[in-house]
Amino acid sequence: MEISRLEGIIEAILFTMGDSVELSKIASAIGHDEETTRKVIHNMMDKYETDDRGIHIIELEDSFQMCTKPQMYEYLIKVAKQPRRYVLTDVQLETLSIIAYRQPVTKLEIEKIRGVKSDHAVNKLVEYDLVCEVGRLDAPGKPILFGTTEEFLRRFSIHSLEDLPGLNPEQIENFKHEAEEEAQLKLDV
């Protein structure tokens, strides 16, 4: 099958599905191996970026999705009125970062790190589809384990969790030192 035909099929799949589609499913649909399929999709991604197009294809771990380019949002707003835009509070961002870096994690673990109740923040993050239940901890009460979603990857423009920025070792040492000082103050009281 010629390349332009393969690209047309992939484009139709991604456009119709709306959400991300696993590479293996796309490869199966076009009758090629994953490596070849990935090359065709990356070629399409390059074309969309070099042409002045309103859409592009993004990669999310081993899946691909067709999306509107962010610079086109102002025009979409004129047609769609007001798209749903969530503004994350500092509390929600803090909670989200704990979940992203520590997942899978329970509410109790989040609350131990934050030092306050986190029910509202976690519930809002679930509502915004940035986190979801990923299982249950094998412990009394079977507490829910939370992790990030594909929507989290999309919203923060990262391909996979490995792309999350790391803490520099100096910051980690400072955090440990501050925690030890705080613990010692509590013991002294």
Q: What does DSSP say about strands 63-68 and 131-136: parallel, antiparallel, or unpaired?
A: unpaired
Residue 72's SS3 state is helix
Find where tokens 């990030």 sit: 148
Domains of the chain: 3-76 (1.10.10.10), 90-188 (1.10.10.10)
Query: Is the pLDDT reported for residue 145 higher than 90?
Result: yes
Choice between 86 and 54, residue whose per-residue pLDDT is larger: 54
d(CA 183, CA 123): 30
pTM over 0.85: no
For residue 84, the model assigns a pLDDT of 63
CA 135 to centroid of chain Cα atoms: 18
> What residues are paired with 21 via a beta bridge?
64
For residue 85, the model assigns a pLDDT of 65
d(CA 165, CA 167): 7
d(CA 142, CA 136): 6
Q: Kindly state the helix (H) or strand (E) to which residue 46 belongs, with its residue range.
A: helix 34-50
State how far the alpha carbon of 182 is from the alpha carbons of 95, 144, 172, 178, 186, in Å.
Answer: 21, 29, 15, 6, 6
Query: Is the pLDDT reported for residue 181 higher than 80?
Result: no
